Every structure is written in structure tokens, then in C-alpha cells.
Copies of this chain bind each other. A is one copy, B any other.
Amino acid sequence: MSADRFARLPEPPYYMVAFTSLRTDADDTGYAEAAERMLELAAQQPGFLGAESTRDADGFGITLSYWTDERAILAWKHQAEHAATRAIGRARWYSHYELRVAKVERAYGFGRTA
């Protein structure tokens, strides 16, 4: 479980999409299935590098997805099933979200050998 939660990424520069969201109480099953399907689809997109995601018991979540460049992000935005699922998300699953597209300039990490 542990290390699998972290994306394995190349050296910067690359792009990051930060998606911060608050869930409604509605349709947990449909949401979970769609979230899994979107990750599966994203991973098939050219330029997808990885993703990291977490959500607390209050329904506040952050998902980071990583991409080689802006063109890859735009292609994913216009992917038809993804666009349709986003519309359902606004109608049903999210009460509020914020999305930020950013260029990662540097990165470093820490990990125990234990």
C-alpha cells in the first residue's frame, strides 16, 4: 500500500494538475467506479506520468496528476468519456472543486529504508 501511493516521476520539468474537491453525500458507488475508470483512462493517454490522490472522512480530497506537457493535459481534457464524466461530477458528486495547472520546476523526496 505505502510506496504505491506515490507516483514515480522523471526529473522536472513536467506538468501537474492539482484537483482539490469536496464531495457531496451522493452516490458513493457510482463515484468510486467513475474515479477508478478515469484513472484507468488517464493512464492510457499519451503524456500521462502518474497520479497521487487522497480524501479524508469529511469528503475533502486532493488529486495530483502528472503530465509531460500542456498538450497532453489538453488532450485529456477533451477526451470524450472524461468530458462526459466531468459533467456528471458537477451534477452529482462534487459540491465544489478547484483545478490548477502548474509547471513543476523542481522536486525532491525523503523515504526510509525500513
Chain A residues within CB distance 8 Å of chain B = 1-3, 5-7, 12, 16, 18, 20, 22, 52-58, 60-62, 64, 90, 94-112, 114
Contacts and interface: CB of A to CB of B under 8 A. Distances in A.
A101 B108 CA distance: 9
Given A54-B56, A64-B20, A105 B102 contact: yes
Contact of A97 (B97, B99, B105, B109): B109
Contacts of A5: 20, 22, 58, 60
Contact of A96 (B62, B101, B112): B112
Interface centre among A16, A52, A98, A102 (most CB of B within 10 A): A102
User: Which 9 pairs of residues, A with B, have the shortest CB-CB distance?
Assistant: A102-B102, A98-B109, A62-B62, A96-B111, A102-B104, A100-B107, A54-B56, A5-B60, A54-B60
